[in-house]
Structure 1
Amino acid sequence: MKLQHLSYLAAIVALMSCGGGTEKQEAPAAAQETVKTDISTNPDYQKGLALVAKSDCLGCHKIEDKLVGPSYVDVANKYPSTTENITMLANTIIKGVTPDKAIWGKLPMSPHPQLSQADAEQMVKYVLLLKK
């Protein structure tokens, strides 16, 4: 009987020791979420937010909900943060969009020719940081 218990104990120890050394430990979900969502200290976030706050963008766009145009989160989820996308989206902000070229429906987007390319790109960088 003691031999049988010893065999069970040996089997349990063997099972517990299998595969434990090669897997990476992940941070708890709460810690990952904090790191993932704490973008407020990012300089691109701060500069872009300030520019958006001074503009008329919030008349048509909201951060998480569709208003007239798509939400910023929807834009961020659609476009990866690449140099090409930042330039293209900044040009869209400056030049606007006619209904026949609209990507998010048939509504036009007003042009913003008063914005510099650098400011428009900074605004886009802010928006793309909102990706969920």
Structure 2
Amino acid sequence: MKYSLLVGSVLAMMVSGSAWANADLAKAKNCMACHAVDNKVVGPAFKDVAKKYASDKTAEAKLVQKVLKGGSGVWGAVAMPPNAQVSDAEAKTLVKWVLSLK
């Protein structure tokens, strides 16, 4: 019983740690200058993005490209600029994190 609780606690910490790590990556890459997790800033809230794309099987690939190259028109007139400081791997990590938010 104690072993199961210990394993469960460690797994929970690992999962929450990766969530924090991805939030830290979003801050480090300036995503939080225009976005927040729960509310619209300049761009949409990350939770709203996750909700909008929840049933879209192609969302991850589309959003990775949007992070890297920028885009406009999906969330209004304000354009999202390209993010040259974000690598392909970082973009994929960020998008997976955003899509996992509930």
TM-score by length of 2: 0.75
Aligned residue type for 1:113: A
Which residue matches 2:3?
Answer: none
In the superposition, relative to structure 1, how do residues 63 and 102 fare at CA in structure 2: closer, same or farther (>3 Å)?
same
Does the CA-based 8 Å contact 2:29-2:85 persist in structure 1?
no
- Answer yes or no: is 1:60 the counterpart of 2:34: yes
Q: Report the CA distance between 1:50 and its aligned residue.
A: 2.7
**Which 5+ residue runs of structure 2 have no aligned equivalent?**
1-11
Matched residues in 2 for 1:93 and 1:39: separation?
28
Percentage identity across aligned positions?
A: 34
1:44-100 residue CA offsets vs partner (Å, 9 max, x unmatched): 524422311211111111111111110001001001276621111011011011xxx
Aligned residue type for 2:76: G
**Which 5+ residue runs of structure 1 have no aligned equivalent?**
1-37
In the superposition, relative to structure 1, how do residues 128 and 88 fare at CA in structure 2: closer, same or farther (>3 Å)?
same
Does the CA-based 8 Å contact 2:34-2:43 persist in structure 1?
yes
Matched residues in 1 for 2:81 and 2:61: separation?
18
Listed as ranges, the matches of 1:87-106 within 5 Å are 87-97=61-71, 101-106=72-77
- Answer yes or no: is 1:127 the counterpart of 2:98: yes
RMSD: 2.4
Number of matched residues? 91
